[in-house]
Amino acid sequence: MSDLPALIARRLLVSGRVQGVGFRASTIEAATRLGIVGWVCNRQDGRVEVHAQALAALVDEFERWLQQGPRWARVTGVSTQDLEVDLGLRGFEIRW
């Protein structure tokens, strides 16, 4: 058994006024600052979808940031789902 902290992956769906307010660009900045890998995209239903992968404590901190978002956003909720870790992910990007 290893004593190394384990990577986790989490899907986060962010609701509220989260499109058209710089949410994706700000999410990339926050993810990069924290060392999160994954992606962010706008959904047709008005939410923003985020795939975040890193050490659990970092993903938790990133989730707390997503609950506030950037200055012009008004987040009303963040739902989460744990995912399988994808060791092929590199960096953090916007997906279309």
Active-site annotation holder among 10, 17, 24, 33 = 24
Of 1, 8, 27, 29, give the one whose Cα is nearest residue 89. 8
Whether 74 is a known active-site residue: answer: no
Active-site annotation holder among 42, 47, 71, 95 = 42
Whether 24 is a known active-site residue: answer: yes
Active-site positions? Answer: 24, 42
